[in-house]
Amino acid sequence: MLRSFLRSILFGLIAAAIVIALIPELRHKIIPAQSQSNTVTASSSPMSFNNAVQRAAPAVVNIYSRQYSEEDRSKLKTQGLGSGVIVSAKGYIITNYHVVASADQVIVALQDGRVASAQLIGQDRRTDIAVLQISMSNLPVIPLNSEYSAKVGDIVLAIGNPYNLGQTTTLGIISATGRSSISADGRQAFIQTDAAINEGNSGGALVNSQGELVGINTASFQQATELETYGISFAIPQKLAWKIMNKIIADGRVIRGYIGVDGQDISSMTNRLLAGNFTGGIIVLGVEPGGPADEGGIKAQDIIVKIGDMVADNRQSVMDAITDARPGSEVKIVVIRNGKQKQLTVKIGEDNRLLTPNTNRSK
């Protein structure tokens, strides 16, 4: 009887082995998983942004601005430190205006060891952008993606030369977009990030996890206050920097349109009640006496709903459309006045207003 019992057990084990062999999924249910090894298998690897850094870092340069010594005008001394980004194989470099604003000579040092004297093509204090050019072959160029749009939560890397330590990369996320409160005129929208930006980072690259240019690092909130603040830094959006660069290359400076109005957004509900089919616009709060808008017939409390062929969605879009218009050109502006549409013709002027320098910048 014992022999028969043992034979039954043996047949059962063989049958179980065959079933487990044919259905591997049962192994984890039948055979308890042993404590897994703490060692990482050869095929595993830690999360890394090395590929992004390798794509972007060669195009980020160190910038040394030099100024003639007051004691001896024949001698140059290092006056400032910053970073820059090579954006074209023609040698164009975008950096910050405040990095090179007072420089008599600008030296650019590439990450491959090459050094060159740079020509200042032009600068724009309002956006804190300056454009340099160097004459070299086989230049690394920062990757650009015209389809990319910065979004809160995106991982970003700040690459620059803080404190002249050498090229350094810091990691963070985009904390906010459209920050305009720190701009000199309250209009320019910055990208806010918690990636560390220190002295010497100004003009360097803010890139995404693919190594594509997101913005030009420009300011740290800590310089704007006496408080110990961390994780609040700002960058100029790539699209704005690119637009300003092209204007500087074309004209040697940034030519801005101007009509002389101030306004604020109105709600979509208010606009539908007052402006019929339009879904956005700005209400004019003030008109500069004798300015282009005044001469064109725009009045306070008018609601601007269309400029040329562009529907005025919000204050920023209206200001951008006016700024991009060529001075001397005429533009049709549709306003709502007392509940009725009215089309006016305004001749664009040139904005030559000087702004108070913004000192809330990293160096």
User: Residue 357 pLDDT > 60, yes or no?
Assistant: no
User: Residue 55 pLDDT > 90, yes or no?
Assistant: yes
Report the number of distinct structural domains present in the chain: 2
**Is 137 inside any structural domain?**
yes
> Domain ends where: 254, 279, 297?
254
Higher pLDDT, 90 or 341: 90
By mean pLDDT, which of 30-39, 148-157, 283-292 is the weakest? 30-39
Q: Judge contact between 282 and 249, C-beta under 8 A.
A: no
What is the token pair recorded at 340?
């009725």
Reply yes or no on whether 28 is catalytic: no
Residues 181 and 263 in one domain: no
Residues 266 and 247 in one domain: no
Kindly indicate the confidence band of residue 138, based on its pLDDT and cuts at 50, 70 and 90: very high
Reply yes or no on whether 128 is catalytic: yes
Residues 262 and 189 in one domain: no
Q: What CATH number should be reported for the domain holding residue 233?
A: 2.40.10.120
User: pLDDT value at position 46?
Assistant: 80
Q: Judge contact between 318 and 348, C-beta under 8 A.
A: no
Reply yes or no on whether 202 is catalytic: yes
Residues 196 and 274 in one domain: no
**Is 3 inside any structural domain?**
no
User: Residue 182 pLDDT > 60, yes or no?
Assistant: no
User: pLDDT value at position 286?
Assistant: 87
User: Residue 67 pLDDT > 80, yes or no?
Assistant: yes
How far, in Å, CA of 173 to CA of 196, rounded? 10
User: Residue 220 pLDDT > 90, yes or no?
Assistant: no
What is the token pair recorded at 326?
């060529």
User: pLDDT value at position 232?
Assistant: 83
| Among 321, 320, 326, residue whose Cα is nearest residue 348 | 326
The chain-wide mean pLDDT, for the chain, equals: 80
Q: Which residues contact 137 (CB under 8 A, 6 or more apart)?
A: none
Residues 316 and 231 in one domain: no
Q: Judge contact between 271 and 260, C-beta under 8 A.
A: no
Residues 222 and 91 in one domain: yes
User: pLDDT value at position 156?
Assistant: 95
User: pLDDT value at position 358?
Assistant: 45
**Is 14 inside any structural domain?**
no
Instruction: Find the catalytic residue in 65, 83, 202, 233.
Output: 202
Q: Which residues contact 305 (CB under 8 A, 6 or more apart)?
A: 271, 275, 278, 280, 281, 311, 312, 334, 335, 336, 341
What is the token pair recorded at 262?
């101030």
Helix, strand or coil for residue 52? helix
HEC letters along the chain: CHHHHHHHHHHHHHHHHHHHHHCHHHHHHHCCCCCCCCCCCCCCCCCCCHHHHHHHHHHEEEEEEEEECCCCCCCEEEEEEEEEEECCCCCEEEECHHHHCCCCEEEEECCCCCEEEEEEEEEECCCCEEEEECCCCCCCCCCCCCCCCCCCCCEEEEEECHHHCCCEEEEEEEEEEEECCCCCCCCCCEEEECCCCCCCCCCCEEEECCCCEEEEEEEEHHHHCCCCCCCCEEEEEHHHHHHHHHHHHHHCCCCCEECCEEEEECCHHHHHHHHCCCCCCEEEEEECCCCHHHHHCCCCCCEEEEECCEECCCHHHHHHHHHHCCCCCEEEEEEEECCEEEEEEEECEECCCCCCCCCCCCC
Residues 81 and 211 in one domain: yes
How far, in Å, CA of 149 to CA of 168, rounded? 25
Residues 234 and 278 in one domain: no
Cα 135 to chain centroid distance, Å, stands at: 26
How far, in Å, CA of 84 to CA of 99, rounded? 9
Q: Span 71-78, mean pLDDT?
A: 68
Structure pTM? 0.75
Instruction: Find the catalytic residue in 128, 265, 302, 320.
Output: 128
Residues 195 and 298 in one domain: no
**Is 38 inside any structural domain?**
no
**Is 35 inside any structural domain?**
no
User: pLDDT value at position 244?
Assistant: 93
**Is 361 inside any structural domain?**
no
User: Residue 307 pLDDT > 70, yes or no?
Assistant: yes
**Is 357 inside any structural domain?**
no
Kindly indicate the confidence band of residue 254, based on its pLDDT and cuts at 50, 70 and 90: confident
Residues 154 and 292 in one domain: no
> Domain ends where: 254, 288, 306?
254
Residues 93 and 206 in one domain: yes
Q: Which residues contact 28 (CB under 8 A, 6 or more apart)?
A: none
User: pLDDT value at position 141?
Assistant: 96
User: pLDDT value at position 36?
Assistant: 46
Domain that holds residue 231: 48-254
> Domain ends where: 228, 254, 280?
254
Q: Are strands 261-265 and 303-307 parallel, antiparallel or unpaired?
A: unpaired
Residues 75 and 219 in one domain: yes
Q: What CATH number should be reported for the domain holding residue 297?
A: 2.30.42.10
